[in-house]
Amino acid sequence: MNIILVGPPGAGKGTQAEFISNKFDLNKVSTGDLFRENIKKNTELGRKANEYVNSGKLVPDQIVTDMISDWLSSNDNWLLDGFPRTVKQAKSLDDILSSQNKVLNSVLLIDVPNHLLVNRLLERQKIEKRTDDDPQTIQVRIDTYEQETSLLIEYYNELGLLTKINGSQNIADVSVNIEKELLNIKKKINN
Ligand code: AMP
How high is the pLDDT of residue 96? 95
State in Å: Cα 84 to ligand 1 middle.
Answer: 9
State in Å: Cα 52 to ligand 1 middle.
Answer: 9
pLDDT tens per residue across span 110-160: 999 988 998 888 888 888 888 888 889 989 999 999 999 889 999 999 999
State in Å: Cα 44 to ligand 1 middle.
Answer: 17
Element (H, E) at 109: strand 106-111
The model carries a pTM of 0.93
At residue 107, does pLDDT exceed 90?
Answer: yes
How high is the pLDDT of residue 68? 94
User: 78-88 burial by CB neighbour count: b if 16+ within 10 A, else e?
Assistant: bbbbbbbbbbb
| Cβ–ligand 1 contact at 71 (below 6 Å) | no
The percentage of the chain sitting over the pLDDT mark of 90, rounded to a whole number, equals 84
The percentage of the chain sitting over the pLDDT mark of 70, rounded to a whole number, equals 100
Cis amide bond preceding 8, omega within 30: no
| Cβ–ligand 1 contact at 7 (below 6 Å) | no
How high is the pLDDT of residue 11? 93
Q: Candidates 30, 37, 58, 117: which one to mutate for ligand 1, based on the most atoms within 8 Å of Cβ?
A: 58
